[in-house]
Amino acid sequence: MTESVSVSIPQWDVLVVGCGAAGLSAAVAAQQGGARVLVLERAPADERGGNTRHTGSWLRMKSVDEVSDDFIDHFAANAGGFLDPSMVHMASTSRESWPPTLRTLSFADPEVVATFAEEAPPTLRWLQGFGVRFEKLEVPFLTSVQPRMAPHGGGFALVEALASEFEKKGGVIHYNTAAQDLIQNEDGVVVGVRATGPRNKPLEYRSRAVILGCGGFEGNAEMMTRYIGPRSLYFRSMSKGCYYNKGEGIAMALAIGAAPCGDFGSWHASPMDPRSDRAGPSIYIYPQGILVNQHGQRFVDEGPGPTDETYEGVTREINAQPGGIAYAVLDTTLAKVKHPGSVVRSEVPPYQADTLAGLAEQLKIPADALEATVAAYNKSCQPGTYNEADMDGLCTKGIAPRKSNWARPIAKPPYIAYPIISSIVLTFGGLRVTPQARVVNQQGDEIPGLYAAGETMGLYYRSYTGATSVLKGLVFGRLAGMDAARSVRG
Ligand SMILES: Cc1cc2nc3c(=O)[nH]c(=O)nc-3n(C[C@H](O)[C@H](O)[C@H](O)COP(=O)(O)OP(=O)(O)OC[C@H]3O[C@@H](n4cnc5c(N)ncnc54)[C@H](O)[C@@H]3O)c2cc1C
Would the CB of 197 count as within 6 Å of ligand 1? Answer: no
Strand partners, 195: 179, 203
Centroid of ligand 1 to alpha carbon of 55 (angstroms): 8
**pLDDT range class, residue 469, cuts 50, 70, 90:** very high
How far apart (Å, rounded) are the C-alpha atoms in residues 353 and 265? 39
How far apart (Å, rounded) are the C-alpha atoms in residues 210 and 187? 16
DSSP state of 336: -
> What ligand 1 atom has the least distance to the C-alpha of 454?
26
Q: Are 378 and 410 a contacting pair, CB within 8 Å?
A: yes
At residue 6, the pLDDT reads: 47
Q: Are 404 and 395 a contacting pair, CB within 8 Å?
A: yes
As to burial, measured by CB atoms within 10 angstroms (0-12 exposed, 13-18 middle, 19+ buried), residue 393 is: middle
At residue 438, the pLDDT reads: 98
Query: Residues 306-321: what's their mean pLDDT?
Result: 95
Query: Residues 318-329: what's their mean pLDDT?
Result: 98
At residue 386, the pLDDT reads: 85
At residue 134, the pLDDT reads: 97
Domain 12-266+428-489: which topology?
FAD/NAD(P)-binding domain (3.50.50)
At residue 5, the pLDDT reads: 42
How far apart (Å, rounded) are the C-alpha atoms in residues 229 and 266? 9
If one looks up domain 271-423 in CATH, what number appears? Answer: 3.90.700.10
- Per-residue pLDDT tens for 265-307? 999 999 999 999 999 999 999 999 999 999 999 999 999 998 9
How far apart (Å, rounded) are the C-alpha atoms in residues 233 and 235? 6
Q: Give the three-class secondary structure for 261.
A: strand
Give me the phi and psi of 195, to 5 degrees please: -140, 170
**pLDDT range class, residue 145, cuts 50, 70, 90:** low
**Pairing mode, strands 438-440 and 325-331:** unpaired
At residue 197, the pLDDT reads: 97
Q: Are 343 and 285 a contacting pair, CB within 8 Å?
A: yes
Would the CB of 467 count as within 6 Å of ligand 1? Answer: yes
DSSP string, 352-396: EESSHHHHHHHHTS-HHHHHHHHHHHHHH-------TTS------
At residue 192, the pLDDT reads: 96
Centroid of ligand 1 to alpha carbon of 20 (angstroms): 6
Q: Are 359 and 285 a contacting pair, CB within 8 Å?
A: no
> Which of 17, 47, 55 has most ligand 1 atoms within 8 Å of its beta carbon, as the pocket-test mutant?
55
Q: pTM value? A: 0.96
Would the CB of 40 count as within 6 Å of ligand 1? Answer: yes
> What ligand 1 atom has the least distance to the C-alpha of 237?
53
How far apart (Å, rounded) are the C-alpha atoms in residues 281 and 270? 9
Query: Residues 399-412: what's their mean pLDDT?
Result: 96
Q: Is the pLDDT of residue 25 over 70?
A: yes
**CA 335 to the chain's CA centroid:** 28
How far apart (Å, rounded) are the C-alpha atoms in residues 38 and 179? 12
- Per-residue pLDDT tens for 480-489? 999 999 999 8
> Which of 15, 28, 46, 52 has most ligand 1 atoms within 8 Å of its beta carbon, as the pocket-test mutant?
52
Centroid of ligand 1 to alpha carbon of 50 (angstroms): 5
**Protein residue whose Cα sits closest to atom 14 of ligand 1:** 55
Q: Is the pLDDT of residue 141 over 80?
A: no
**pLDDT range class, residue 148, cuts 50, 70, 90:** confident
What percentage of the chain reaches a pLDDT higher than 90? 88
Residues of the chain with CATH 3.90.700.10: 271-423
Selection from 184, 195, 168 nearest residue 40 by Cα? 195
Would the CB of 203 count as within 6 Å of ligand 1? Answer: no
Strand partners, 151: 134
**pLDDT range class, residue 348, cuts 50, 70, 90:** very high
How far apart (Å, rounded) are the C-alpha atoms in residues 100 and 110? 16
Residues of the chain with CATH 3.50.50.60: 12-266+428-489
**Interacting residues of 410 by C-beta distance below 8 A, sequence separation 6+:** 289, 290, 329, 330, 331, 334, 374, 377, 378
DSSP state of 241: G
**pLDDT range class, residue 328, cuts 50, 70, 90:** very high
Q: What is the mean pLDDT of the chain?
A: 94
Ramachandran bin of 323, using left for φ above 0, alpha for ψ from -120 to 50, beta for the remaining angles: left
Q: Give the three-class secondary structure for 329.
A: strand
**CA 447 to the chain's CA centroid:** 26
